[in-house]
Amino acid sequence: MEPPSHYNNWPTDKGFDPEYEQREPIDLVVTGTIPAYAAGVLYRTGPGKSHVKAENGETLRITHWFDGFTQNHRFQILAPDDRHTSTRVLYNSRFSTDDLIQNVIKTGSLKGLGFAEGRDPCKSVLGKAQSEFIPQLTPSSKNIGVTLSINFPGLGNKDERESSLRRRDVQEHTLYSKTDYNAFQKIDPETLEPLGLASQEDLHPELSGQVSASHARSDPTTGDVFNFNLTIGRTCTYRVFKVSAATGETTILATFAATPAYLHSLLITKDHVILCIWNAHLDPRSMAESFMKAILPTDPSQPAVWYVIDRKGDNGLIATYESPAFFCFHTINAWLEPSEDDASQMDIVADLVRADNTRLIHTLYYENLISSLDTAKKFQENIDDSLRTSIARFRLPSVPQTPSTDVKKASLEWSICKPLSPELPIINPTKVTQKHRYVYAVTFRGEATLTDGIMKLDCETQQVSLWACHGQSPGEPIFVADPDGIDEDDGVLLSVVLDGMHDKSYLLCLDARNLSELGRANVDGAVGFGFHGQHVSAVGGMPTGDY
- How many angstroms separate the CA atoms of 71 and 144, rounded? 9
What is the C-alpha radius of gyration for the chain, rounded to an integer number of angstroms?
A: 22
**E strand map for 376-422:** 390-396, 407-409, 411-416
Check the annotation: does 215 bind a ligand.
yes
- How many angstroms separate the CA atoms of 410 and 304, rounded? 9
Check the annotation: does 532 bind a ligand.
yes
Check the annotation: does 264 bind a ligand.
yes
Amino acid at 498: L
Cα angle, residue 287 at apex, residues 284 and 293 outer, rounded to 5°: 105
Nearest of 103, 69, 289 to residue 185 by alpha carbon: 69
Amino acid at 37: Y
**378 CB burial (10 A radius; 0-12, 13-18, 19+):** exposed
Q: What contacts 54, CB < 8 A, 6 or more positions away?
A: 60, 104, 105, 106, 107, 108
β-bridge mates for residue 462, sequence order? none
**E strand map for 108-232:** 147-150, 175-178, 184-187, 194-198, 211-212, 217-218, 225-231
Straight-line distance from the first to the last Cα atom of the chain, in angstroms, rounded to the nearest whole number: 32
Check the annotation: does 330 bind a ligand.
yes
Nearest of 44, 25, 7, 41 to residue 529 by alpha carbon: 44
DSSP class per residue in 84-131: -SS-EEEEEEEES-HHHHHHHHHH---TT-SSSS---TT--HHHHHHH
β-bridge mates for residue 474, sequence order? 497
- How many angstroms separate the CA atoms of 501 and 200, rounded? 43
**E strand map for 304-380:** 304-310, 317-323, 331-338, 346-354
Using DSSP bridges, classify how beta strands 51-53 and 40-47 pair: parallel, antiparallel or unpaired: unpaired
Identify the helix (H) or strand (E) that includes residue 293: helix 291-294
User: How many CA within 13 A on the CB side of residue 304?
Assistant: 26
| CA-to-CA separations, 445 to 173, 195, 355, 361, 364, in angstroms, rounded | 38, 39, 15, 17, 15
- How many angstroms separate the CA atoms of 140 and 157, rounded? 19
User: Taken in order 123, 125, 127, 132, is the CA torsion positive or negative?
Assistant: positive
Residues flagged as binding site for Fe cation: 215, 264, 330, 532
Residues flagged as binding site: 215, 264, 330, 532
